[in-house]
Amino acid sequence: MKIWRLAGKLMRFRTGLVLLTLFFTIAWLGGRFAISFAIQEIIDTLTDYETLLSLEITTLFIIAPFTYLVTFIFGAIFDIVNWLYWISCEVLVRKNMMLGLLKKPGAQALPDTTGEAISRFRGDVMNIVRLSYTLAIRIGIGLYSIGLMVYLFTISWEATSLIFAPFALILVIGLLGRKKMSSLRKVRRKAAGEVTGTLGKIFGSIQTFKVATVENNVLRHFDSKTEIRKQAVVKEEVFSAIINSIFLFSISMGMGVILLLIGPAMNLGNFTVGNLFFFQSQIWWLGEFVWLLGDMIPVVQQGKVSYNRALRIIQNRDETVTADAIVADEPIYVKEDFPPYSAVERKEGDVLSVLSAENLTYQYPGTDKGIANATLNIKRGSFTVITGRIGAGKTTLLRTILGLLPTDNGKIYWNGKLVDDPSEFMIPPRSAYTPQVPFLFSESLRNNILMNLREEEVNIAEAIRLAIIEKEVEEFDDKLDTRVGPKGVRLSGGQKQRLAAARMFVRDSELYVFDDLSSALDVETEQKLWDQLFTKGKEITCLVVSHRPLALRRADNIIVLKKGQIIDQGKLDELLERSTEMQKLWEGDLSNGNSTEEGF
C-alpha cells in the first residue's frame, strides 16, 4: 500500500485548505518569532546592549502588542482552516467507506462485529485524516525550524549546537515511546469497539433480557467490558503523561545546558540577556519539530493499519477494490444541496419475460454450507415456490439470485441477457424483495413504506391494500404517521411482514420475491394476500420461499432443495407422486439434523 500516495491524494481533495494550512502555520510561527524578537530587542535596549534594529523603546513597546494581536488572528484563522480541512476529509472518507459498504452484496456480513465497524468509521477515519492533516503542519513547522536555526546560529553557533544533545533524546523517545503508544492505542480502540458492540446488542435485546430475567447478568457482562476499556484508557493516558513529561524535561535540560555554558559569552557581550530570552522562547519549537519527526513513524504506522482496516470493510473478496476508493474525490455537499432522489426508470428491457439461473453456486466462507449448481427458470406471470427443510439453502438461493450474496460460480440471465452484476441489476423496478426478518426503522409507517420515494409518484394506498395491512393502519391514531418504534417494536410479527410487503408493492416491480412471508401470517390472511395480489389487474411474477400448503397448491412450479442442491422441480401433484423428499415436506417434516439455521 502506497501510504504517502494515499495521503497526498487526500490532501489534493482540499488543496486550497492544505496551502492555507501551510501558510498560516508559517505565519503563526513567524508571529511568535516576531514577538520573541521584539521582546529580545526591548530587553537588550533596557540593559544597554547593542540591538539589531536600534529602535526606540517606545516603538518596540508598540510593535510587540501589535505583533501579538496579528499572531492571535493568524492562530484563529489557522484553527478554522484546519477544522474545515479535518471535517471535510472525515466526511469524504466516511462517505467513501459507506459507498463501498453499500456496493457489497447486501446479505454479506460485516467482517467484524458492529462495534468494530463503528470503530472503523470513527477511530480509523481519524487516523487516516490525521496522516494527511499533519503533513502540511509538519512541513510548515519544518520550514520555520530551518529558518529559526539559521538565525540562532547567527546569534551563537556554540549555544545552538548545544541544544542538539537533548533533542537527540527527544527523537529517541519519539521513535521508541510512540511505538508503544500506538500499541496501547490499538488496545484502547479494540476495547472501545467491544463496549460499543455490547451496547448495541443490549439495546437490541432488552425485551429478551427482561423475559429471561437476566438483567443483572447482562449488567455484570457490560461492567466487565467497561472495566477492560477503563484499564486500557488509564494505561494509555499514564504512558502519554510519562512521555510528555520526558519531552518537557528534555526542553528544560536544553535550556539548562545553555545557561551553564554561555556564561563566558555573556560576560564578553557576545550573548545578551535578550538572546537568552529568545533562545528560551524559541527552543520549544525546535524541540516540537524534532518530536514531530520521531512521531511521524507511528502516525504513518497507524495510518497504514487504519487504511487496511477500512479496506477490509469495503473490499470483501473483490480484489479490484483498493485503498484508493477510501480517498476517492467525491462531492460531499458542504454548502450545496443534496441531489434530489430519482428512482430508476423502467425501460423496455426491464419488462420481464423470463429470469434464468444456470449452475448458481455459493458457499459460505469457512463452511460447507450454501448452494451448488442451481438451475431454474421463472417465466412472466408465474408463481414459483422454493421449498425444503430447514437449512436446505432456500434463503441462500434467493439471496444469490438477487445479488445479495456473491456467486462463486454460475450465471443469471434476464430475458436471455447476461446479468453482469445482480446486486446492481436486481432492484426496482425489475425486482423487489421482502426478507424473512424485515428491518423497520424508528420512523412513521409512511416513511418505512416509501423509504425516500415521493408519495405523489406512487400508489401507497394500493400497496397497503395488497399487503392486507389496511385495517391496522386505519385503527392507529395517527394512521400512516404512526411511529413504529425501533425495529418495529409496536407491531406484531405479522404486521411487520405485511408492512415490509407494502414497502415492496409500492415499488411496482416486475418480479416480487418473498422469503417465507407467510410464516408470520395466519392461513386466512395469507389466502387473502395471494388472492388480492393475483387480481391486481396485471401479470404478477412471484418467487416465494414457503412450505405452506396454500402456497404449494397455488404454485406453477415448485423447486425442491436438499442440502443446497435442487433435487426436483414441478407442480405439486407431480412431485408428490415421484419425490420422497416432497412427500416428507408435505407431511410437515422440516427438520434437518445437520443444521438448525434457516439462513443456509
Q: Each residue's pLDDT tens digit in the chain (600 positions)?
A: 588 888 888 888 888 888 998 888 888 888 888 888 888 888 888 877 766 667 677 777 787 788 888 888 988 998 899 889 999 999 999 999 888 887 777 656 667 667 677 778 888 888 889 888 888 888 888 888 888 888 888 877 777 776 666 666 666 666 666 667 677 777 877 787 778 778 777 776 776 777 777 778 888 888 888 888 888 888 878 877 777 677 667 666 666 666 666 666 565 556 777 877 787 777 777 777 776 766 676 777 778 878 888 888 887 666 677 888 888 888 888 777 777 766 667 787 788 899 999 999 998 877 888 899 999 999 998 999 999 888 888 999 999 999 888 888 999 999 989 998 888 888 888 999 988 888 888 888 888 888 878 888 888 888 888 888 888 888 888 888 888 766 555 677 788 888 888 999 888 888 999 988 777 777 888 888 888 888 765 678 999 998 888 888 888 999 999 888 999 999 999 889 888 888 888 887 666 644 433 433
CB under 8 A, 24+ apart: contacts of 88-92: 88/13, 88/14, 88/17, 88/332, 88/334, 89/10, 89/13, 89/14, 89/128, 89/129, 89/132, 89/133, 90/125, 90/126, 90/129, 91/332, 91/334, 92/10, 92/13, 92/327, 92/329, 92/330, 92/332
- pLDDT score recorded for residue 378: 92
Distance, CA of 400 to CA of 423 (rounded, Å): 9
Distance, CA of 151 to CA of 147 (rounded, Å): 6
Ramachandran region, residue 286 (left: φ > 0; alpha: ψ -120 to 50; beta: rest): alpha
- pLDDT score recorded for residue 241: 76
In 247-271, which positions are buried (b, 16+ CB within 10 angstroms) versus exposed (e)?
beebbebbbeebeeebeebeeeeeb
CB atoms within 10 A of CB 565: 14
C-alpha cell at 287: 524541540
Who contacts 188 (Cβ-Cβ below 8 Å, separation ≥6)?
229, 232, 233, 235, 236
Determine the 3-state secondary structure of 306 from DSSP.
helix
Distance, CA of 249 to CA of 320 (rounded, Å): 50
Residue ranges covered by each domain of the chain? 3-327, 350-430+511-523+534-600, 438-508
C-alpha cell at 554: 397455488
Who contacts 523 (Cβ-Cβ below 8 Å, separation ≥6)?
548, 550
- pLDDT score recorded for residue 303: 81
Nearest to 472 by CA among 451, 493, 455: 493
- pLDDT score recorded for residue 264: 63
Topology given in CATH for the domain delimited by 3-327: ABC transporter transmembrane region fold (1.20.1560)
Who contacts 402 (Cβ-Cβ below 8 Å, separation ≥6)?
106, 422, 423, 426, 431, 433, 513
Strand partners for 370: 363
Distance, CA of 263 to CA of 261 (rounded, Å): 6
| Phi, psi values for residue 470, rounded to 5° | -60, -45
Return the axis-axis angle of helices 215-261 and 273-315, rounded to nearest 10°.
Answer: 150
Helix (H) / strand (E) element for 567: namely: strand 565-570
| Amino acid code (one letter) for 159 | A
| Amino acid code (one letter) for 47 | T
- pLDDT score recorded for residue 397: 92
Determine the 3-state secondary structure of 419 from DSSP.
coil
Distance, CA of 280 to CA of 275 (rounded, Å): 9
Cα dihedral 358→359→362→367 (10° resolution): 160
CB atoms within 10 A of CB 374: 24
Query: What's domain 350-430+511-523+534-600's superfamily in CATH?
Result: P-loop containing nucleotide triphosphate hydrolases (3.40.50.300)
CB atoms within 10 A of CB 280: 15
Distance, CA of 143 to CA of 161 (rounded, Å): 19
Topology given in CATH for the domain delimited by 438-508: Rossmann fold (3.40.50)
**Residue 180 near residue 239 (C-beta atoms within 8 A):** yes
Distance, CA of 54 to CA of 44 (rounded, Å): 10
Task: Tell me if domain 3-327 and domain 350-430+511-523+534-600 are identical in fold.
Answer: no
Nearest to 598 by CA among 464, 451, 435: 435
Longest dimension (CA), the chain: 116
Strand partners for 418: 413
CB under 8 A, 24+ apart: contacts of 54-60: none
pTM exceeding 0.75: no
Nearest to 501 by CA among 559, 460, 535, 548: 460
